Amino acid sequence: MREISHKLAFAHDTQPTRYSDVFDPNNGGVQARVALGDAALLDLAVAAAKKAQPAWAAVNPQRRARVMFNFKALVEANMDELAHLLSSEHGKVIADSKGDIQRGLEVIEFCCGIPHVLKGEYTQGAGPGIDVYSFRQPIGIGAGITPFNFPGMIPLWMSGVAIATGNAFILKPSERDPSVPVRLAELFLEAGLPEGILQVVQGDKEMVDAILDHPDIKGVSFVGSSDIAHYVYNRGVAAGKRVQAMGGAKNHGIVMPDADLDQVVNDLSGAAFGSAGERCMALPVVVPVGEKTAIALREKLIPAIEALRVGVSTDAEAHYGPVVTAAHKQKIENWIQTGVDEGAELVIDGRGFKLQGHEDGFFVGPTLFDHVTTDMSAYKEEIFGPVLQMVRAESFEEAVSLPSKHQYGNGVALFTRNGHAAREFAARVDVGMVGINVPIPVPVAYHTFGGWKRSAFGDTNQHGMEGVKFWTKVKTVTQRWPDGGASADSAFVIPTMG
């Protein structure tokens, strides 16, 4: 069987003792196995990173940026191969895999401007003969732990900024789709990145714990589900590291009575069902405001959902493909049953969906619930599948309160033609990323990505300037160059510039 391994800066001949299966979601079989590393392997990777990092930090930022430019061109040249590899393990359709990689490349484009971003601050004459300047230095060795659902974009969010700012970076991707991160690391080497600056270690909890406990890893960026994000945050911080840990989501789309319902249905179809709902910025909850809006929306939504085409990931006509594993398919179908048991109206049932010729694939048909209420656990928890839940609200106030009171606060969208309502909503809603007539408000690379409440632990976001802050530390120098005359008297009180 094909074996997927680590991407390390050294030859190693230790035989892995543990493996994890990598499935073919389109057909349901096992297509490869990935070697799971342990603390001993991580020690070697950290030692290689430690050796390589000082020289990389000393490379001037313009030259580091050149590696980013080269890498971007190489990824573009290899886009088809990468997208097929990504789809074959994840299950998302090829066009969506290209989008996954492209969103990551946009962070690399931001990193191409790293010389400008790292320029620092300077105050001439902060006191008599005194100048003050601040600049950012890399933290040293950083690590990233990433989820299965964006195996291109999220490794690039982290590795791009960490590397461009002069760090060595160790990536532990999801064991469910581990190949694309390895391929990206190979392309980085081809782009001119020195050995040891980006390594990929494969693994599961054992490797994550080793990363969190390793004294030479100074920062950990995590993206995954909330309970694990919380655990990673606590354990990493207890070990003295800086940690940013992004978690799960349950994003609401609020539909005001004046919204363009045809546009809303188009937007919702893509945002709720694209990538089989396996996106942390998906819109799995729709909230029509007022009974008339709910009735009209439901009428338009049902035929649109019934017209969705579920297919294998290479089907260019398919709207979405299979989910990642049989276990995840089962989990989604269990949540659908829970919704039924809790009293929601199951309008379209996607359970038991079989694709002809791919009967063992991990497909889940599109599912719609209406009359979902906030006390239901199927509403409170993340399902992460092609399931749209309609929660009816009577007023704008009630609609704002729903995402605000929810345990997750990643993204939210408002559909309206009313600028005042939109402004009020954006100001008041207790959620980190807001879309106004934009169903998936993932910020562009030079802004930053991050949710609130149980969607993110820690206080810096991914990429943009927040990413730069996370992967660097500020040093501030206060300097005086005496002219050789009489030296100043000793000062026994705190020096001031007054």
- Pick between residue 159 and residue 455 the one whose CB is nearest to ligand NAD: 455
Using the 8-state DSSP alphabet, how is residue 497 labeled?
-
Q: In the numeric block, which tokens belong to residue 29? A: 């079989």
- Pick between residue 96 and residue 382 the one whose CB is nearest to ligand NAD: 382
Q: What share of the chain is helix, strand, coil (3-state, %, to 5)?
A: 40, 20, 40
Active site residue 280: yes
Summarize as ranges the residues that interact with ligand NAD (CB under 6 A). Answer: 145-150, 172, 174-175, 204-205, 208, 223-225, 228, 246-249, 280, 382, 384, 410, 451, 455
- Pick between residue 140 and residue 181 the one whose CB is nearest to ligand NAD: 181
Q: In the numeric block, which tokens belong to residue 141? A: 């060795």
CB of 410 to ligand NAD, least distance (A): 5
Q: Where are the beta strands (DSSP E) in 336-439?
A: 345-348, 367-370, 387-390, 408-409, 411-415, 433-436
Q: DSSP for 398-413?
A: HHHHHHHHSSEESEEE
- Pick between residue 236 and residue 350 the one whose CB is nearest to ligand NAD: 236
Answer yes or no: are the C-beta atoms of 320 and 349 closer than 8 Å: no
CB of 245 to ligand NAD, least distance (A): 9
The C-alpha atoms of residue 71 and residue 160 are separated, in whole angstroms, by 10
Q: Which of 82, 114, 232, 280 is catalytic?
A: 280
CB of 149 to ligand NAD, least distance (A): 5
The C-alpha atoms of residue 82 and residue 96 are separated, in whole angstroms, by 12
Please name the residue that has the structure tokens 């001119």: 192
Q: DSSP for 465-490?
A: HHHHHHHEEEEEEEEE---SSSPPPP
Using the 8-state DSSP alphabet, how is residue 39 labeled?
H
Contacts of 356 (CB under 8 A, 6+ apart): none
Sort 257 into a burial class: Cβ within 10 Å, 0-12 / 13-18 / 19+. Answer: middle
CB of 227 to ligand NAD, least distance (A): 8
- Pick between residue 52 and residue 286 the one whose CB is nearest to ligand NAD: 286
- Pick between residue 147 and residue 288 the one whose CB is nearest to ligand NAD: 147
Q: In the numeric block, which tokens belong to residue 329? A: 């398919």
Residue type for 114, please? I
* Catalytically active residues, by annotation: 280
